Structure 1
Amino acid sequence: MRKKLLCTCMGILCFSIGTVLAQFSRPVSIGAGAGVTYNLTDLANVKTKFAFYGEADYLISSFISVGLHGEKGTLSGNGYNSEFENRYFAGNVNGKVRIGQFMGHTNNYSYYTLQANTFSRILSNVYVGAGAGLVKNRIERRLDATYAEGIAKQAGELADDLGEIHFVVPLNVGVDIPFGRTLYGPQWGININYQHTLTTNDNLDGIKNKNNDQYGFVSLGVKYALFNRK
C-alpha cells in the first residue's frame, strides 16, 4: 500500500514538474511589478529611476493575449549645467504574441509540454508585443541660461505645458514563466519584460528639439490567473 502511494505521489510530482512552465490555462490574468527606467532625451546624461506597474491580460489563445497596462515612474537626466525630472503616469492597450504560436500543438499545449524539453517550454513563452497609449508628464526642470539660448538658436523651444498628455507607442519583449500547478493549469507566473516607449512629442524633459523623446523600462513582475478556461 505504501509503495503504491509513493509511486502515485512521485507520478503526480513528475507530472507537475513537466507542466509547470505551460502557458496559463485560464483566460484572464492580473499582474504587478517594478523595475528601472532610463530615458533618451535632449539632456542625455541619464539617471536610472524607479517605476512600477499594474496590468490585466486576456488570452485569445494559449500564446496570444491582449491587455491593459498602467505605469507610474520617474525619468531623470542632466547635461549642459541643466537637469530635469519627470514623475510621469502612463497607460496603454497592448497585444503580445508568444513564440509557441509558431511551434507544434498550439491547440493542446498541456499535451505539448509532456513531450517538449525544458528549453522548448521556456522558449514557447517568449513574446514580443506592441500597443498604443498615453503618457502624462509631471516635469520639473532647471535650465542653464546659455543652454536655453542655444536651444532657441537651433529652432528648438522650451515646453510651456510641463503636465502635458501625449500619445505613445510601447514595444515589448519578454517572457512569462507560469508556476503553481493546479487542476486547471498554472495559476501564477513570473514576468520579465523590457518595454521601449516611443513618443509622438519631444517633451519628456520639457525641451522640444529635433527628435522625439523615448524611454525604456526593465521590469520584473508576478502574474495571477483568474477564471477557469472552458
Structure 2
Amino acid sequence: MKKSVFLVFGIVSLFFVNTAFAQFSRPVSVGVGAGGTLSLADLGNSDIRFAGHVDVDGLITPFISVGIHGEKGILSAYGWNSDFENRYYTLSGNVKVRLGQFLSLPDNYSNYTLRASILNQILANIYLGGGVGFIKNSIENSIDPNYVESISNMGGEITDDLNSENLVIPLNIGLDIPLGRSLYGPKWAINLNYQHSLLPKDNLDGVINKKNDQYSYLSLGVKMALFNR
C-alpha cells in the first residue's frame, strides 16, 4: 500500500509541477509548521498533543495548488479507566482551491499582486482543500477489563494490531497571509490551517467499534516560494 501511495503522489506531483513551470515564475512552495492535535476516538476524554508537518505545493493557477503533506505527531485520550497514545505519521496528497479563483481579479496577475491591498490579498488566499493518503499508527494502550467486556457486548473488540497502516482522508480550511511582493506573487506566507482527518477504518486507538475514528490538527506555519526570477 505504501509503495502505491508514493508512486501515485510522485506521478501527480511531477505532472502538475511541469504544468506550473510553463505558467509561473514561482510555481512551487515549501512550508513547515506545528500545532495541536485532538483525537476523536472511542475513549472520549481527548488530550491536546503536538504534531509537526512539512508541505510541498505546486501551482496550477495562482489560486489552485496540488501538494504533498507529511505529518508526524501524537494522539492520546483516556476514559473508562483506560488510555491510549498513538505516535503516528501520515503522508497524503491534496488539492487546495483559494477564494481568489472566484473573485473578479484582473487578467494581469503580475499587476494584481503588486497593487492589491493587504486585505484583498488575504481574502484571495482563504482556501478549502481535501486529499487522500495513509497513516502509520504506533499505539500503546491500557484497556480496563470492564471496558473490554462493555465493548464486546456492543459488537466491538480490542485489537492486537497496534502498528497498522490505514487510509486517511484529510480535509482542510485555512489561510495564507502573503508577505513580500513581486511580479509573480508573494515570496513568503504565514499559514494558519485546520485539518480534520477521517479514517475509513476504526483503529486509531486499538479499540474497534461501530463508529470510525477521526482526529483534528490545528497548525501555524510558514511557507517560502521557490524558483524566484
Q: 1:160: Cα distance to partner?
A: 1.7
Partner of 1:141: 141
Indicate the residue corresponding to 2:132 in structure 1.
Answer: 132
Q: Where does residue 206 of structure 1 map in the other structure? A: 206
- Return the alpha-carbon distance in structure 2 between the equivalents of residues 111 and 215 of structure 1: 41
Change (3 A) 1:107 1:62: farther
State the distance in 2 between where 1:179 and 1:114 align: 12
Structure 1's 170 and 106: CA in aligned 2 closer, same or farther, altered over 3 A? farther
Checking the alignment, whether the CA contact within 8 Å between 2:128 and 2:172 is kept in structure 1 is yes
The number of residues matched between the two structures is: 206
TM-score by length of 2: 0.85
Whole-Å Cα distance in 2 between the matches of residues 201 and 77 of structure 1?
Answer: 18
Measured after TM superposition, the shift of residue 55 of structure 1 is: 1.0
Residue 219 of structure 1 deviates from its aligned partner by 0.3
Instruction: State the partner residue of 2:6.
Output: none
Question: How many angstroms does 1:26 deviate by?
Answer: 1.0
Residues 80 and 147, structure 1, Cα contact 8 Å, conserved in 2:
yes
Q: Would the alpha carbon gap of residues 53 and 106 (structure 1) be closer, same or farther in structure 2, given more than 3 Å must change?
A: farther
Question: Which piece of structure 1 moves more, 165-174 or 102-111?
Answer: 102-111
Greater CA drift, 141-150 or 107-116: 107-116
Helix, strand or coil: the match of 1:215?
Answer: strand
Which of 1 and 2 has greater Rg? 1
Structure 1, gaps ≥5 residues long:
1-23
Alignment of 1:71-110 (within 5 A): 71-105=71-105, 107-110=107-110
The answer on whether the counterparts of 1:81 and 1:144 sit within 8 Å (CA) in structure 2 is yes
Alignment of 1:1-230 (within 5 A): 26-105=26-105, 107-113=107-113, 116-182=116-182, 184-228=184-228
CA–CA distance in 1 between the matches of 2:92 and 2:67? 8
Shift of 1:184: 4.7
Q: Residue 65 of structure 2 contacts residue 95 of structure 2 at CA under 8 Å; is this kept in 1?
A: yes
Rounded to whole Å, the distance in 2 between the matches of 1:90 and 1:62 is 27
Distance 1:89 1:106, change over 3 A: farther
Moved more, 122-131 or 97-106: 97-106
- Select between 175-184 and 81-90 the one with higher mean Cα deviation: 175-184
Distance in 1 (alpha carbons) for counterparts of 2:153 and 2:93: 39
- Secondary structure at the aligned position of 1:60 is classed as strand
Worse-matched range after superposition: 81-90 or 114-123: 114-123
Instruction: Sort the Cα spacing of 1:86 and 1:107 in 2 relative to 1 into closer, same or farther, 3 A.
Output: farther
Computed over aligned residues only, the root mean square deviation of the Cα atoms, in angstroms, reads 1.7
Unaligned stretches of 5+ residues in structure 2: 1-23
Q: Percent identity?
A: 57
> 1:73, 1:107 → 2: CA distance?
42
